Amino acid sequence: MPADFEKQSYWHERFSSETSFEWLASSESFMSIIEPYLSTPSHTYENAPRILHLGSGTSDLQNCFRSRGYLDVTNVDYEPLAIERGRQLEKVAFGDIRMKYIVADVTQLACDFLQDKRFDIVVDKSTVDAVSCGGNTALSRMASFVRKYLADNGIWISLSYSSARFDIEQLPFGVEVIAKIPLPKLKESDPEIYHHCYLLRPKDPNESKMGT
């Protein structure tokens, strides 16, 4: 039977013993895709990008951001154990905690801290895949909240195993694939299989609300 990735009980049990795990690709590999979008002319030292990391889990992606000087990072997970792991990873790596950590459900992003926040870049590393286990309605809710918290001209970068992850109705984003990460082959004759990295930009309100 497939794992219950959409259920908080699954993650609580898993994070009770798991201290580190990277989904689909290493955080360094994912950062190599993200970083060009963090280094645009508008993202100067004085105007550092505001980053929202959804479904931080036990990845070290937040430490990759910090090691490159990005400190305005908000890490979100709905399992408190994952948030505590993230804080521990940062403390061990850097000696203190300067990034933000929030317990929240990415399909119901609502907390006092986020109320007036707008982020330049939202990232998730296969969180969309876990959410999608709950159906397209859950993914649509996640997308709506991402859109709510994006700044003007903000973007969402999402890593997924699916080549059709965002083929859902009424998605408030335009979607493009900016990278495909090949999976290692066990045999030379095996087919090419890729994980897909998506770039999502908010649609103009006047655009059609159907499709992507």
pLDDT of residue 32: 94
Are residues 163 and 181 in contact, defined by beta-carbon separation less than 8 angstroms? no
Q: pLDDT value at position 57?
A: 84
Q: Helical H runs in the chain? A: 8-15, 27-38, 61-67, 80-94, 127-132, 136-149
Q: What is the pLDDT of residue 208?
A: 45
* pLDDT of res. 1: 40
Question: Residue 135 burial (CB < 10 Å; 0-12/13-18/19+)?
Answer: exposed
For the chain, domains (ranges, CATH) are: 8-202 (3.40.50.150)
Task: Tell me if residue 5 falls in helix, strand or coil.
Answer: coil
Q: Assess contact for 164 and 209: CB atoms under 8 A.
A: no
pLDDT at position 53: 96
Q: What is the mean pLDDT of each run of 10 residues along the chain (212 residues)?
A: 62 67 83 89 72 92 94 92 92 96 87 80 94 89 92 94 90 95 78 91 68 45
Q: Which pLDDT belongs to residue 166?
A: 94
Instruction: Output the pLDDT for position 11.
Output: 60
Q: How far apart are CA 198 and CA 148, in angstroms?
A: 19
